[in-house]
Chain A
Amino acid sequence: MEEYPEELRTPPVSLVALFGYSELQASISKHLHSQQPPINALAFPDFSHISLLLVPDDQSSVASSFRDPLSVSDSSSPVPARCGGILKRDWLLKHRTKVPALVAAFFPSHHIFGDPTQWLQVCSDLDSLKSVIRPKNIKLVVVVVQSSPQEEISEDRLVALRKRAELDSKYVIFFNSSIDSELSVSLSRIASAFAELALAYYREEGRRIKSRVEKRSSNSPDLNVRYCFKVAVYAEFHRDWAEALKFYEDAYHSLHEMIGTSTRLPAIQRLVEIKTIAELLHFKISTLLLHGGKLIEAVTWFHQHKASYEKVVGSTEFIFLHWDWMSRQFLVFAELLETSSATAQGFSSLNQGTAEISLTEFEFYPAYYYQLAAQYLKDKKCALELLLSMSETAQEINSCSESITPSGYVGQFAQLLEKGEGEALTFHSITDEEYTRYTISEAKRFQDSFEIIAWLKRSYESFTNLKAGRMAARCAFEVGREYFDLADPNNAKKYFDIAANFYRQEGWVTLLWEVLGYLRECSRNLGALKDFVELSLEMVVLPVTSYDDSGNLKNKNYGPGGPATFSGRESIHQEIFTLLCREAELLSSIGGNGFKLATDSPLHLEIDLVSPLRPVLLASVAFHEQIIKPHAMCSITLSLLSHLPLPVEIDHLEVQFNQSMCNFVIRNSQRPLWATSSNTVQSGSQVENEPSLVLVPNNWLRLTYAINSEQSGKLECLSVLAKLGPLFTISSRAESPAAMEDLSVWKHENRVESLPTKDPVLAVFGQKATQVDELEPQVDVSLGASGPALVGEDFTLPIVVTSKGHAVYNGELKINLVDVGGGGLFSPRETEPFSLESHHVEICGIDGAEGNDESESETGNIKKIQQSFGLVSVPDLKEGESWSCKLEIKWHRPKPVMLFVSLGYLPHGSEDNTQKVHIHKSLQIEGKMPLLISSQFMLPYRRDHLLLNKIKPAPDSEDMSSLPLNEKSVLVVRAKNCSEIALKLVSMSIELDDKQGETSCLIHQGGGCGDSPSSANLAPGEEFKKVFTVIPITRTSKLDLGSVHLKWRRQGSNITEACVLTKHKLPEVIVEASPLVMNLSCPPYAILGEPFTCAVRICNQTQLLQEAKFALADAQSFVLSGSHSNTISVLPKSEHVLSYKLVPLTCGEQQLPKITLTSARYSAEFQPSAVASSVFVLPSASHAKKTNSTVK
């Protein structure tokens, strides 16, 4: 596209000429240029330069041998007898840069309205200007430049000026540059007037030429094309794209009709001219279509263009001209597509159904066109080379084509001859022979290959971006081939590699063969032996099975690899193996391949699982057993498969394991021993001999041997190394038969597939790795547990390590606590205060055995303890020795726990290669609650308080007991041994948790005498009770009584051992003041038949009058006197006594008549408790005395 002149590539821009006032011209030009659409300005400083405007062309004067029908001055006689050409080369440029659409004359206002002499000067300037522009219909604008807006304007002069200039009043413009605001107004006024006039000029010119097209359409097709072109250009000037497109297409079609009819020039040149113009018109049309966003139309147009001219080859001898032209069409269209915005939006919105020719996906991308452009250029290159090789007069061509240049017409060439001495140069038309000579010599100057490579690379990138990998691979392949032809193996290799990698993935063997053939040649040229061998081997193992090579080996359509046939594989195989496996005496000689294989540079190939060389040597290794004992023999089967076309003899095989001690060698006994030993197999390792080691194509070579391993752990076969000849080794990664993948290139082939091992089970499930067991441990670890553990105590557990045949070195004891339930030792849902410690069971410490203190101080001794994990180092033990330690575990909650202990040690000192022996032990330990603590409140005897809370409990205090304020209540605390172990209770006390508790209640130990000992022995199931008195002194709805602190230890354990402290939180109580207190006073006992007095005192503790209703229920065992029911009023802070006389009728413990008191104020009813309101009735007074005396 860059080869087109700029005026053709860019849309036309209107041109104006400015005269006078050079100081203003710069700013005006700038302003015009920034307009939308822009206007270019020619600036002339003053009117003396009028003659410079419309200077006739140098060219037209030179080409005087032709008549020039294009220049406008000739328009009066538009039918020339003989037309020189279709389009003049510089016509468009002239209208872009020389012929303005309008001329603007700038005059200062004082010249017009002032001095008459100056006015006359203005008039004469205008006249001369008019005489120049009038014949060409160029428009005129007069600009009056005012120095200030207040300047005086003479109306007469202005009218005279208009008359003189023959102008409408709106084209006489006042321009004021003195004030900024005025300046911009003036500038925009000028710009709009200019744009309007320029548009009018181009429209008129277009109309003028169009009328000519319409008038004489039949006459000369040359002129028709030219006029259509001009109309189209003028239409472009005035931005009528539709009309431009229409006339360009008209011109194109008229031109196409000329192909057979025109006789003006010699045949070849005629066609060249037509094609050149067709190309130009096509370019214009495509540009217009693409800029209009009509992508489908543009592509369809291109198709038509290609189809119309594809067969217009011209002389077959010089077909390269046609290929060159075709290639240029594709290239230009590709570049247009690439730069156009239409492609950016993609073609998702396109509907292909509407197009007449069905278009395919990639035809909308420049990549497609770049690729074809390169292909045509390649055709051109070939045609040219053929032509040059045939022409014997190449030398001559060079000599006589010097003076030929492009002539004044588009697509024509002429000889520039010097006439006489001096500047008179004339164009002479040339013959076809001269022309072809010229073009050949021109074509020879170009390096087509670089162009081809550049375009293909662009195509490659574009296809890669489109994710069209195969197209991209093809482009890469073509690039590589072009580089290969240029003898640039480095670059060629780079691109061939891209293509080869792609073809490898898809298994297109013939294509891969071709690329590999080129790559092989590249590496040969580069002298890269390893690459050469690898590529050759890869080619050799390709699944090419066709035998068809019917003499087309010489055909140059094939790459250097030759055709993909079986015999091709065989010959490359032989070439490679003669190169690599020569006998020692031949080593220094230089082979036919040009490679020198030096003795000190052995060649080693690594084959892994993804290598394309995998079919060269496929190694499948299977252990016969999955687990083997140390030092025991184990069978291993080694199966090798090769897809080389010819049998290969292996000198020796080395089998390598992850335990290098196990490596072994299989030697072919027919081959001599090579002095060079490998470094992978240690001397003294296992050596097996085989009568022959020959790999037959597509047949497994199966070998079974026994090996043993001393080291425990995983034993895995890593690789199999085959030595072929003195210097060539191939190492193939070992594969398990169970996990062997198909060879990627061979998997689609029809062939007999056999199993790698004869044993079908091994072939399906065989593994290349096996597990070697550990040694039997000969050390005992015992965990001495003594029954269940109790919550809260430090439970000690002795661990004894006893050696029974092995010494222990570097011993390490790992201790793990695991919850039996599996839920872990920590449950975050528990929110009780003492479970804030995260673990319910934890290891507190590990107490080393006697004499362990010094070893602890040694460096390197490990002793790590976490809450459920511990690590202890065990000192070195000799045979028969033992070592013990104590593990301390603490339970916070009752929970069964699994204890795992594992000991790892080295049985033989500090040898590095030996492995640790492990012993595992586990024990389940139950954690139990030792004591069950409960508490109970008791109110004072026969003194009942009206506790409102008890009667109408608050919603949230259902379980809480209420205590009366300032009254002594009794608290009984019980501790029951619920474990199976006898415990010794050391002390029990109540501790208040906070200071508030101390001020709100008083707690004393009950009894105060020594008959309740603070320490006691508790057998399993026994209970210990202790009484406390509580006097609440503050009224509160929640009294915290603190907690019971119980100290205990296991009975019989050492006194020095610390006691365990168990805490039990006492329930919270409600403290309230009771408004009424009912006291029952009654003798301690009664005697049958003897009356006694019983009084019920109702005490009002409030400041209010309390009305109380009481009711007395009769009792069967008593005769009662007194009021049965009544309502009484009790004065504030006073007492009301109800007194009864009772006669017991029955002996024994008797229930007194039950009194029920109802407080009217609180509408609450309460009764004394049943226990308090009973009395023992003795049969006689003597009993009473006896009882009294015993009590005393």
Chain B
Amino acid sequence: MSSTLLLIQLLNGIQLGVLLFLIAAGLTLVFGVMGFINLAHGVQYMIGAYLTVWFYGMTGHFGAALLLALLAALALALFLEFAVFRHLYDRDHLDQVLATFGVILFLNQAVKVIWGPTPLVISPPEFLAGTFRLTENLNYSIWRIAIIMIGFTVAGLLWFLVTKTRIGMLVRAGATNAGMVGALGVNIRRLFMIVFGFGAMLAGFAGSIAAPIYSVEPGMGDGLLITAFVVIVIGGIGSIRGTFIAALLVGLVDTLGRSTITDILKLFLEPSAANQIGPALASMAIYILMAAVLFFRPEGLFPAQGRRA
């Protein structure tokens, strides 16, 4: 493998990691702070993407569409919190899984009814739509670089928010012992609502910025949700720092695994056998990583401090 190929794969891996981070950040906060398993989090990603396409069709301006999509995704998340999720906080995890799974089915179908089953596409904003020449044969999309930069910026802001502000302090306290925070006079319900809305909005944001490189279709968030769960388990539940590092790790392992495992196997095996085993092994790579992390550090790489096991 040439060095440029390796460079491209590194960029791709980081870009996937950044998207995973945006989805997993909300998931880890909601799970860490509220102890609430929200399978419908991946649907928020899909909703973000659809809303962006929809508003883009109305306004013709990507930035405006992004902003409107974020607000609409937030509104939808708060509505869902009010109508469905709020009633599940005190129930056990099985009830939460069942109810949020129902929300997935409902929203996937709703999206299909409204926008149809065929995938939709959208272009990135014009000044970022171009490509630059990476090698003689290959152009690389500027938008992918933009995603990486946006992701790092959001990660920085989030880190600041969680570690340096009062609301962040409450969130961290909530992640450690929600009952105690409530007893100290903090309106824990409102804190939950803010965390939930914010997390869902981040997932919607990920959907918005991913829309120009992937296709927008019903169920697009379901696969990513599973990967996002892998990320928060590796990173340590409730920890933003852990989630960020785990997301990049998972993005890189997944991308590099897919491009190198088959080649490595070809050194030892027949090409046809390598082609059989390689892709299967590559899809397992992140789960093997997760199993290894869990074996050595059952709490994840960076568990939220003081959190009860």
Q: Do A and B come from one complex?
A: no
